[in-house]
Structure 1
Amino acid sequence: MILLGFDVEEFDLPLEYGRSISFDEQLSISTNGTNSILELLRSANIKATFFCTANYALHKPDIITKIVNEGHEIASHGYYHSDFKPEHLKQSKEVLEDISGTEVTGFRMARMMPVDEAEIKMAGYTYNSSINPTWLPGRYNNFDKPRTWFYEDGVLQIPASVSPLVRFPLFWLSFHNLSLPLIKWISLAAHRKDGYLNLYFHPWEFTDLHDKEKYGLPGYIARNSGELFISRIKNFIEWAQSKGLEFSGTGDFASSIMEKDTATKKLIPAQ
């Protein structure tokens, strides 16, 4: 099983690199990328999960409706991409449910930063996919976290996939900078070990980010963006399908785990 997650957010990354970018352009870039992703998923006949900020959804409700109408899951990516308060957990869930007309059960914190699991549970989420169980200099060190799904404070945790042993991350940057044969080799090794992959990307990666003067992004982010990235992900999906691997939304995967746990508990006699 392969879980594809897309973090639909305001494209504010250039601000981190000293460039100015209007809010309208932030939305436009994310929207163009989201449409490219939807076309890719439609062509491959697979479903995925879109982790959306409430801020994006409020400004682009038609895109949220389009995502839902094409059979994909809406989950929360917080209220804003670059601002977080605990109350945003419940507020973003309510906004997304109102716009999408679907129940929102999953959450992913912006930039995979830590979030209080008690607050996640209180806000009504059943699963959290905010952990990258590896070390990323300047961001986080999660070598002490489990590599695969686990429960914490009653919330199902579904970490991003990393390789066995050395925990090399199979996240979005790897898909920009590694050769496709190497990505496939690591992915297959992780899938054989864990039984699933949890991969995440951003819509703006599916747009051309090579203009250094405009966006200010380093080469390791801009590399293979736009049409090149669309081609890479299309190639990866086709390869995975040729190997007999199936794709699923994160929420469906989470539900299957929780249903099995419930069934197991019913089989255990009361003490």
Structure 2
Amino acid sequence: MIFLSFDIEEFDNLFPCSQNFTLEEQMSVSRAGTTLILDLLKQKGVKATFFCTANFALHAKNLIQRMVDEGHEVASHGYYHNLFNPGDKKRSKEVLEELIGQEVVGFRMPNMMPVDNQELLDCGFKYNSSLNPTCLPGKYNNLGSPRRIFKEEGICQIPASVSPLFRIPLFWLSLHNFPMPLYKLLSGWALKKDGYLNLYFHPWEFIALDKDKLRLPFFVKMNSGDALLKRLDDLISFFQNKKIPFKCLKDCEAMFLEK
């Protein structure tokens, strides 16, 4: 099975260009990208998980409701994307649950940073998908972490997918930059080895990133906007043709913890 997830946040990432945006501009970028994602998933008949910051959700209530109406999972991405205060995780869960009228069971820390398991348990979360079990200099050094789903201190840990050998990350930048045959090969290899794929992306990747105000590195702009949307469409079709089901991460948590 395949788990697609999207980190839905205000566009305030660490690239300098995003700091030039007002809050409304940041929200506008993320709303536009999220709409494109939802349109594609609806067209393909695929369900996914949306890790939303409470801040974004309060500025895009119609999109949050659309996620619920179309059968997707809404999970927490914290209250803000790059501002962390005590109690924010619990507050984010409460805000999202009030908006969607459903329990929120999943959490992903912004920028896939480490997060305390006990804090997540105290907030009422059941799974955490904040681990990228690979090594990227200056960002991740998780080669010693489990590559597959595991339970730790009462929390189901669902790492992002990497290749079985060398732990090549299969995250958003890989879909931007790898030739599609290579990305499909690595993804298929991980799927065969692990029985699932956990892939994640962001809404701003699916809008045109070559505008003057969006001075992003080449490796981020590569195959962004419509090109990335087509790549994701191609990837989904590739696995649908193989009869591989797409699920929400809450289904994964239930399957692995209820065995």
Q: Secondary structure at the match of 1:33?
A: helix
Separation in 1, partners of 2:74, 2:113: 20
Q: Secondary structure at the match of 1:57?
A: helix
The one-letter amino acid paired with 1:202 is H
Separation in 2, partners of 1:257, 1:18: 38
Contact 1:190 1:197 in 2 (8 A): yes
Separation in 2, partners of 1:77, 1:244: 30
- 2:203 matches 1:214: no
**Identity among equivalent pairs (%):** 53
CA displacement at 1:155 relative to structure 2: 0.2
Q: Deviations over 1:104-138 (max 9, x none)?
A: 00000000001111101111000000000001111
Q: CA RMSD in A?
A: 1.2
- 2:163 matches 1:163: yes
TM-score of the two chains, using structure 1 as the length reference: 0.93
The one-letter amino acid paired with 2:119 is E
The structure that has the greater radius of gyration is: 1
Contact 1:10 1:23 in 2 (8 A): yes
Instruction: After TM superposition, list the pairs within 5 Å mapping 1:6-45 onto structure 2.
Output: 6-13=6-13, 16-17=16-17, 19-45=19-45
CA displacement at 1:12 relative to structure 2: 1.1
Q: Deviations over 1:202-232 (max 9, x none)?
A: 0111111112x31221011111111111100
CA displacement at 1:13 relative to structure 2: 2.5
TM-score of the two chains, using structure 2 as the length reference: 0.97
Contact 2:15 2:216 in 1 (8 A): no
CA displacement at 1:15 relative to structure 2: 5.2
Q: Secondary structure at the match of 1:214?
A: coil
The one-letter amino acid paired with 1:221 is V
Separation in 2, partners of 1:61, 1:21: 21
Separation in 2, partners of 1:18, 1:224: 19
Q: Secondary structure at the match of 1:210?
A: coil
Separation in 2, partners of 1:18, 1:55: 16
Instruction: After TM superposition, list the pairs within 5 Å mapping 1:257-268 onto structure 2.
Output: 257-260=256-259
Of 215-224 and 182-191, deviating more is: 215-224
The one-letter amino acid paired with 2:133 is P
- Residue number in structure 2 paired with 1:89: 89
- Residue number in structure 2 paired with 1:268: none
- Structure 1 unmatched runs, 5+: 261-271
- Residue number in structure 2 paired with 1:75: 75
CA displacement at 1:248 relative to structure 2: 0.2
- Residue number in structure 1 paired with 2:238: 239
